[in-house]
Amino acid sequence: MHSQLDAVAARADAGVEPALDQLIRYLAIPAISCKPDRAPDVVRLAEAVCADLAALGLERARVLHLEGALPIVAAEWLHAEPGRPTVLIYGHLDLQPADEDDWETAPHAPTRIGDRLYARGSADDMGGWVSHFAALKAWFDVAGGPPCNVKLIIEGEEEIGSPNLERFMDAFPDVFASDVMVLTDCENPSTDTPGLTVSLRGLLELRLTCRALSADVHSGLWGGMVPDVSIALARLIARITDDDGRLTVGRVDVGPTRAAAGRTVPIGADELRGGAHLLPGVNPLPVRDRSAAEWMWWQPCLTIVATTLPTLDRKKNALRKEASAILSLRVAPDQRGEDLEALVTAELLREPPGGVQVTVERAGWHGEGWLYTPKGPAFDAADRAYRRAWGRSLVQVGVGGSIPFVALFGRRFGDLPLILNGVMDPLTTAHGPNESLHLGVFRKAVLANVYLLDELAALGG
Ligand SMILES: [Zn+2]
């Protein structure tokens, strides 16, 4: 049996370059789901992927449609020996938009530079599911098929929050029915260390408004005795943040185990500088008494995402009647959004600066966080597969953002093993300019996928 697995792995390794060619063909299609005029591109990509899956040897390859939704590609192969599990593999077709002016290469003209492939979607998420295609191709070529049953789902609306994915789950339940789910849209902590994603933060938006006057008035006549709502707004934001700019309200105790795990995650100044486009001379925030991983994955944080403060083009010598800001609050994975909302609101409403009227309203709710405890044979199997391909154990990582499809899978299928992996690394800049895939990560992902199917097959159904 081992000689066959070795042969599949060797075939997969030899298939990496053809898989990159296939990826490059897909990446040339600007399948941007948030732009209605790009919907035909999402459909065109779905049809191309569907045809390729059928050619690869998968069965029932089809493009699923629902009214008002971009399509999903589904395919399966269910001819494994009796007693073998069914593994569902998820990825997404669609892309974030790319502002060409900020890119050094054309975002939809994939370009290899050094050990990276630059293109929108190269790592988020086309490289992720193409790495599965390459592993499956090797299994079909050498062994006539994978060692377990496989279902594939490639979604078309992940980048707009998967608004119709649950409808697809309801309309096509057999497409999702499985024993283990491999959700490939996540990040590795470095190009040498494979990541297993086990947490997400939630996202809550509050609208903070300060009102003082029924009309703007002359700042020269009244300044000194009349409150400035812009300053009141700034002081309120300062009240809930420290000098580093971090949210001080609602911090959670992650416990000694996670705190220690966070310190082992290799996120250093270089990853932060490169990944977050820090200007020369600007340093990441000091970690203080926690780790970078804990700050970015497991603590709540605040970003000001919109304000009505006077803008440079609306300058006038006036005290304004009101000012608002949208506070975007990332909710810790094990924190209730309502609890963070209550704490922040109470702090903002006490003792209004300058006596202004302060209101806090909920402006958006994008879901709770998610904290998962991977336990059991599927995760041991995944770790063995990754150690073999990467030479290192899987490191449990979090995602600071909110990925609606993960929360949805967690809610609908949380009693199944959910293996969240991917081909992103800290320099990928998913959603930003110059998104890229590390070619070494891609090669290791292809091999890990080969070994993962072998390991999961041995678990039984
Ligand atoms: Zn993605």
By DSSP bridging, strand 301-307 and strand 322-331 are antiparallel
Q: Which residue has the tokens 């934001």?
A: 237
Tell me the mean pLDDT in the region 426-431.
91
195 CA distance to ligand 1 middle (Å): 15
367 CA distance to ligand 1 middle (Å): 17
> What is the rounded distance in angstroms from the CA atom of residue 57 to the CA atom of residue 48?
15
Q: Boundaries of CATH 3.30.70.360 in the chain?
A: 202-257+295-365
139 confidence band (pLDDT: 50, 70, 90): very high
430 CA distance to ligand 1 middle (Å): 8
Question: Closest by alpha carbon to 185, among 244, 117, 127, 248?
Answer: 127
142 CA distance to ligand 1 middle (Å): 31
pLDDT in tens, 113-127: 999 999 999 999 999
36 CA distance to ligand 1 middle (Å): 19
Which residues touch 291 (CB under 8 Å, ≥6 apart)?
Answer: 259, 262, 263, 265, 267
Residue 202 bridge partners (DSSP):
331
H, E, C per residue of 28-44: CCCCECCCHHHHHHHHH
Burial of 117 (0-12, 13-18, 19+ CB in 10 A): buried
337 CA distance to ligand 1 middle (Å): 24
43 CA distance to ligand 1 middle (Å): 18
Q: Boundaries of CATH 3.40.630.10 in the chain?
A: 2-199+369-457
What pLDDT was estimated at residue 461? 64
18 CA distance to ligand 1 middle (Å): 23
What pLDDT was estimated at residue 407? 84
316 CA distance to ligand 1 middle (Å): 43
259 CA distance to ligand 1 middle (Å): 27
299 CA distance to ligand 1 middle (Å): 22
72 CA distance to ligand 1 middle (Å): 15
431 CA distance to ligand 1 middle (Å): 9
424 CA distance to ligand 1 middle (Å): 9
CA angle (265 as vertex; 259, 271 as ends), nearest 5: 130
Which residues touch 347 (CB under 8 Å, ≥6 apart)?
Answer: 239, 240, 249
User: In the predicted model, is pLDDT for residue 1 greater than 60?
Assistant: no
408 CA distance to ligand 1 middle (Å): 15
125 CA distance to ligand 1 middle (Å): 5
354 CA distance to ligand 1 middle (Å): 45
DSSP 3-state of 293: helix
pLDDT in tens, 340-391: 999 999 999 999 999 999 999 999 887 788 898 888 999 999 999 999 999 9
DSSP 3-state of 339: helix
- CB-based contacts of 390-395 (< 8 A; 24+ apart in sequence): 390/192, 390/193, 390/194, 390/444, 390/448, 392/192, 392/193, 392/194, 393/194, 394/194, 394/195, 394/196, 395/189, 395/193, 395/194, 395/195, 395/196, 395/264, 395/265
399 CA distance to ligand 1 middle (Å): 12
DSSP 101-170: GG-SS-TTS-EEETTEEESTTIIIIIHHHHHHHHHHHHHHHHHSS-SSEEEEEEES-GGGT-TTHHHHHH
DSSP 3-state of 389: helix
358 CA distance to ligand 1 middle (Å): 38
Kindly report the pTM of this predicted structure.
0.86
What pLDDT was estimated at residue 414? 84
Distance of CA 282 to the CA centre of its chain: 25
Tell me the mean pLDDT in the region 134-138.
98
185 CA distance to ligand 1 middle (Å): 5
| CATH of region 2-199+369-457 | 3.40.630.10
457 CA distance to ligand 1 middle (Å): 27
Q: Between the CA atoms of 224, 225, 229 and 234, what dihedral angle is there, to the nearest 10 degrees?
A: 50
Question: Closest by alpha carbon to 379, among 135, 86, 146, 181?
Answer: 181
Mean of per-residue pLDDT scores for the chain: 95
245 CA distance to ligand 1 middle (Å): 28
Tell me the mean pLDDT in the region 18-33.
98
What pLDDT was estimated at residue 53? 98
DSSP 3-state of 246: coil
* Pairwise pLDDT comparison (376 vs 10), residue with the higher score: 10
103 CA distance to ligand 1 middle (Å): 19
158 CA distance to ligand 1 middle (Å): 7
What pLDDT was estimated at residue 167? 98
Radius of gyration of the chain (CA): 24
pLDDT in tens, 432-446: 999 999 999 999 999
> What is the rounded distance in angstroms from the CA atom of residue 296 to the CA atom of residue 81?
43
Which residues touch 313 (CB under 8 Å, ≥6 apart)?
Answer: none
User: In the predicted model, is pLDDT for residue 402 greater than 90?
Assistant: no
Of 231-240, 352-361, 393-402, which gets the smallest average pLDDT?
393-402
pLDDT in tens, 91-106: 999 999 999 999 999 9
294 CA distance to ligand 1 middle (Å): 22
> What is the rounded distance in angstroms from the CA atom of residue 43 to the CA atom of residue 30?
11
Tell me the mean pLDDT in the region 251-272.
89
DSSP 3-state of 443: helix
223 CA distance to ligand 1 middle (Å): 50
> What is the rounded distance in angstroms from the CA atom of residue 318 to the CA atom of residue 229?
11
> What is the rounded distance in angstroms from the CA atom of residue 383 to the CA atom of residue 394?
6
7 CA distance to ligand 1 middle (Å): 31
35 CA distance to ligand 1 middle (Å): 16
379 CA distance to ligand 1 middle (Å): 22
290 CA distance to ligand 1 middle (Å): 28
| CATH of region 202-257+295-365 | 3.30.70.360
Question: Closest by alpha carbon to 111, among 429, 437, 367?
Answer: 437
